[in-house]
Amino acid sequence: MRRIVNIIVFAAALVVALLSVLFVGVYNDDESLYNQVGAIKEKSPEMIDEFLAVTPETLPQYVATVQEKAANLNAELKEQQLPKDILYTYISNLKEVDADNFEAFKADFPHYSSVLFAACDKKQEYIDGFNNVADFESLQRYITKLEDEYAPMRQDYLVEKNYVKSVNGLVGRATLVLDNVSASKQETKLAELQDAVKSCTKSAVLINCATGLLYALFFIAIGMMVCFAIFQLVKNFKTSYKVLIVIVAACAYILILYSVFTPEMTPSAIKMQHTVSELKWINAGIITCYTVFIGALVSIVATWIINLFKK
């Protein structure tokens, strides 16, 4: 079983290495264009297909069409930003409330809410939510609920913002092609840009294949290791029950860490699309790893000291 797992891991590393070499071979443009093509391809693949079919004669019409779309997207993005900013301000202000000024903030909340939520569609929902907060301890749970609501809103905004930025970037590159006075120069520059976009598309396919294959082989290897461990535990249960006790204790320790940890939704966590629940699991896992690592070091040092005294 161990040999099979080793073979799978080695095969995964070899395949990823080969795909990486192919990626280097086909990728000919800058990183910004690769990111732009990836963002547009994810939401509007037809825009890339239309660009690859553009000729020097149809390029002006394509640029005008995409510029109009980009203007509409910018307007929609501004509308999407307003409720996000209102909720962010609301959460930030609630976090500034402490046990001493909670009652004062609650008394002033009608005036505060009328100002902050004046242009908010969820005004009454937020007002009712805060009015249901009985004490300062309940406020912390309410803030966590609001952060759970804010995280996907912020994630959607960032995705949309990146998409709009990418559309503007692509149309900007196409506009630079039009700036060439010579028709032959336009044709050459357009062909170069289209080749670069094709290169980015091929690179994205290779990366997706490598990532998918790596995940598949990784989980297969993990699954086989778990099956092997369970088989050994069942086969030698009388001598392995201590291992089961350790596993149960570790699971209980992780659950305790999960229940007591209150994460902060940092900008990086939001950008990576993590929820509050995911952050709690991540933190519990990290602390568990640190605990095991420190415990192993202490065990090694203690064993070494004990052996010294025995001698």
Our count of domains for the chain comes to 2
User: Is 182 a residue whose pLDDT tops 70?
Assistant: yes
Verify that 182 and 245 share a domain, yes or no.
no
Are 185 and 260 in a shared domain? no
* Residue count (the chain): 311
Same domain, 200 and 266: no
Report which of residues 82 and 287 the model is more confident about.
82
Q: Which long-range contacts (CB under 8 A, 24 or more apart) does 272-280 make?
A: 273/151, 273/152, 273/155, 274/151, 275/148, 275/151, 275/152, 276/144, 276/147, 276/148, 276/151, 277/148
Residues 133 and 240 in one domain: no
Among the candidates 219, 252, 276, a domain finishes at 219
Query: Within this chain, do residues 9 and 141 fall inside the same structural domain, yes or no?
Result: yes
Mean pLDDT, range 184-202, rounded to an integer:
87
Which one has a higher pLDDT value, 149 or 288?
149
Task: For residues 191-203, give the mean pLDDT.
Answer: 84
- Cα end-to-end distance, the chain, whole Å: 40
Question: Are residues 166 and 254 both part of a single domain?
Answer: no
Does one domain contain both 34 and 172? Answer: yes
Q: Is residue 151 within 8 Å of residue 114, measured between CB atoms?
A: no
Residue 46 lies in a domain: yes
pLDDT at 5: 54
- pLDDT by residue (tens digit) across 88-100? 999 999 999 998 9
**Same structural domain, 42 and 161:** yes
Q: Does 111 reside within a domain? A: yes
234 vs 59, more confident: 59
Q: Do 38 and 152 lie in a common domain?
A: yes
| Within-domain flag for 225 | no
Model confidence pLDDT, tens digit, residues 264-297: 656 556 555 566 677 777 777 778 777 877 877 8
The answer to whether residue 226 sits within a structural domain is: no
pLDDT at 225: 67
Q: pLDDT > 90: what percent of the chain? A: 30
259 lies in some domain: yes
The residue whose two tokens read 């391809």 is 41
Q: Domain limits at 54?
A: 2-219
- Same domain, residue pair 135 and 272: no
Q: What is the mean pLDDT of residues 167-194?
A: 89
Task: Say yes or no: 198 and 67 in one domain.
Answer: yes
Predicted pLDDT at 75:
92
pTM for the model stands at: 0.65
**Residues 178-192 as b or e (16 or more Cβ within 10 Å = b):** eeeeeeeebbebbee
What is the pLDDT, as a whole number, of residue 127?
93
Locate 105 and state its tokens: 């903030």
Q: Is 131 inside any structural domain?
A: yes
Q: Please check whether residue 229 lies inside any domain of the structure.
A: no
| Tokens linked to 135 | 């004490």
Q: Please check whether residue 115 lies inside any domain of the structure.
A: yes
Domain match, 206 and 288 both: no
Quick check: 72 pLDDT over 60? yes
Range of weakest confidence among 32-41, 65-74, 222-231 = 222-231
Q: Which of 150-154, 191-195, 291-295 has the highest mean pLDDT?
A: 191-195
